[in-house]
Amino acid sequence: MRSSIELIYSLFIAILIGCFSCSNELSPKSQDTGLIGVWSLAGYENLIDGTIENSHDNVDEIWIEFSDSVFNGNTGRNNFFGPYKTQNDLLILEALDGTEINESSWGIRFFDSMREAYKSEFNDLQIIYSLNGDLLKMEYNSNQAFLFKRTK
């Protein structure tokens, strides 16, 4: 009788170990390390007609830096920051904190565009992104995308 209990216990432990090792294979893609670095906003792309509006020389530079799990950035006048994660081709900004005091028109457009990516059902911003060398495209709605160039 005792050996039957030991056998059942051993089988139970083996099944648990097997389940834990399988769960890692089903987890979503880990954080995309290709995002890590500093990116400067080069312009906006209209996804319908393909036109690109480049940043103007007379506006403040907007940049964003991604590290392992947080981002921070600056519009030339104000800072913004928060935690993020990636899931396949989705960039999820779990919060977008910062200020918008005395913001330039380019900075106002940036913050307004970021707000378009807000998903109330998840309480976060969800942006489809793609990397192509030193170019980062971030689609904040179905018609528009940010175009960032890597600077560091």
**Residue 93 domain flag:** yes
Q: What is the pLDDT of residue 29?
A: 43
CB burial readout 90-114, b (16+ within 10 A) else e: ebbbeebebeeeebbebbebbbebb
The residue range of the domain holding 127 is 33-150
**Residue 132 domain flag:** yes
Q: How many domains does the chain have?
A: 1
**Residue 18 domain flag:** no
3-state class of 61 per DSSP? coil
Task: Please tell me the pTM assigned to this model.
Answer: 0.77
Q: What is the pLDDT of residue 134?
A: 96
**Residue 9 domain flag:** no
Q: What is the pLDDT of residue 40?
A: 96
H or E segment to which residue 16 belongs: helix 2-26
Q: What is the CATH number of the domain that holds 55?
A: 2.40.128.280
**Residue 128 domain flag:** yes
- State the residue for tokens 């290709």: 34
Predicted confidence band at 20 (pLDDT cuts at 50, 70, 90)?
very low
The residue among 105 and 27 whose pLDDT is bigger is 105
Distance, CA of 151 to CA of 64 (rounded, Å): 10
Amino acid at 20: F
Question: In this predicted model, what pLDDT tens digit does every residue of 58-112 receive, in sequence order?
Answer: 678 999 999 999 999 999 999 999 999 999 999 999 999 999 999 998 899 999 9
Distance, CA of 28 to CA of 110 (rounded, Å): 29
**Residue 133 domain flag:** yes
**Nearest CA to 141 among 104, 103, 112, 121?**
112
Q: What is the pLDDT of residue 152?
A: 87
